[in-house]
Amino acid sequence: MESVMPNVAETFLFSRFARFAATALVLLAAFSLWQAAFAAAIASALCAGIVWSRYRAEVGRHRHALLITARVLHLLFLAALAPAILTNAPGLSQWSYVYPLATFGLWPLRWAALLMVPYLALVVAAGLDSDLGPDRHQFVACGLLAVLLSTLFVFLREYKSRQLAPLRRTDELTQAASRDYLSADLHKEIQRSEREGIEMAVILIGLDIHRSGALPEADIRAILPRIGRYLNSQLRDFDSYYRVADLQFLAVLPGVNTATATSRAEVIRRGLRTLLESHDLDLTVSAGVAGLNIGDDAETLQQGAARALQRAQQQGGNRTQSFSAWSGAGAPDTGQEAPSDD
């Protein structure tokens, strides 16, 4: 679970910064309104809306709608700044320096580059207007510097992302370990279990999408981080879990037999069902359990859990099913198949 900590810290810091920034901008908007600086008040309020919408898009349920809201506010921000840029209005034109950074933070790189064109056109137009006096040259220089610094920020962000990609062991959305490491990690756990003579089991957990008809993608994407946090809270420090598919997670439980793992899976399954219901998602959860048997390797152990999960979902879902190595299919061993909640 140690690999989760950097991402958790990053999310925490972003949350604190977003709340502080949005609050400060709202207070600034109120102060500007009290001072009858209406244009500055509008700019401050739009920036507060952008920061808050972008933050809520990361942690809220309606990510797509919130992201669209932030981008619409960003376009309104440029429209509000346009008169100030063209006239180099005192006390307001400085807000234009925020625009480049906000652009690259909200939009994909190609769209951001395209949206910089009207901004640069406004800055150049202000620089060519001799009626604005000698300050126009300083304003143009500051505007171009803001664009340059924003471009440098984007370059460093992309460079960091590419450099860290091979080292990233966790799924950014759910904080589960990456599937790319599953086979190697599972192979090591199997070797250790055989060497020390201890039992081991895996649990494959999946959402029963087939029971709900249409897949609410926005709601599912919003609930996935909470599913990841719930799994993290229910597993022991030396357990591990992986996101093996869009809506499936595999947990590795060293030192646990099949019966105990099945009971644990049922507790987790019911807890996830309650979590989904609390977010108004009419989805059920099923789980397949497979214990380590003589001759098993990482592939066969995963296949056993997958067959058990498939059997549970074929029976209507909303249940936990263990895998019987002797029958070669998921089978309801005594005390190992949990009844449906329905």
Give the residue among 236, 224, 209, 220 at the shortest CA–CA distance from 176.
Answer: 224
Predicted confidence (pLDDT) at residue 302 exceeds the cutoff of 50: yes
Predicted confidence (pLDDT) at residue 167 exceeds the cutoff of 50: no
Neighbours of 69 (CB within 10 A): 18
User: What is the DSSP secondary-structure string of 284-304?
Assistant: -EEEEEEE--TT--HHHHHHH
Q: How far is residue 44's CA from residue 27's CA, in Å, rounded to a whole number?
A: 9
Q: How far is residue 116's CA from residue 112's CA, in Å, rounded to a whole number?
A: 6
Report residue 306 CA to chain centroid gap. Answer: 26
Q: How far is residue 262's CA from residue 288's CA, in Å, rounded to a whole number?
A: 8
Structure tokens of 324? 């019987």
Which is more confidently placed, 146 or 8?
146
User: What is the DSSP secondary-structure string of 139-159?
Assistant: HHHHHHHHHHHHHHHHHHHHH
Structure tokens of 1? 């679970």
Q: How far is residue 302's CA from residue 290's CA, in Å, rounded to a whole number?
A: 8
- pLDDT band per the 50, 70, 90 thresholds, residue 291: very high
Which residues touch 197 (CB under 8 Å, ≥6 apart)? none
pLDDT at 228: 86
Cβ proximity of 84 and 93 under 8 Å: yes
Q: What is the DSSP letter of 230?
A: H
Cβ proximity of 175 and 232 under 8 Å: yes
- Taking only the tens place, the pLDDT of each residue in 183-209 is 888 999 999 999 888 999 999 999 887
Q: How far is residue 154's CA from residue 148's CA, in Å, rounded to a whole number?
A: 10
pLDDT at 209: 74
Q: Which of 24-28, 55-59, 198-202 has the lowest mean pLDDT?
A: 55-59
**E-strand spans in the chain?**
200-207, 240-245, 248-254, 285-291, 320-324, 329-330
Cα–Cα separations (whole angstroms), residue 108 to 2, 58, 63, 118, 275: 31, 16, 16, 17, 32
Per the prediction, the chain carries an average pLDDT of 79
Q: Is the dihedral of CA 253, 200, 298, 331 positive or negative?
A: negative
Please state the rounded mean pLDDT for residues 302-316.
91
Give the residue among 90, 87, 156 at the shortest CA–CA distance from 126.
Answer: 87
pLDDT at 263: 93
- Taking only the tens place, the pLDDT of each residue in 205-221 is 998 876 555 555 666 77
Q: What is the DSSP letter of 206?
A: E
Structure tokens of 276? 């989904």
Characterize the bridge pairing of strands 320-324 and 285-291: parallel
- Taking only the tens place, the pLDDT of each residue in 129-157 is 777 677 777 778 888 888 888 888 888 87
Predicted confidence (pLDDT) at residue 333 exceeds the cutoff of 70: no
pLDDT at 217: 66
Cβ proximity of 319 and 286 under 8 Å: yes
Neighbours of 293 (CB within 10 A): 15
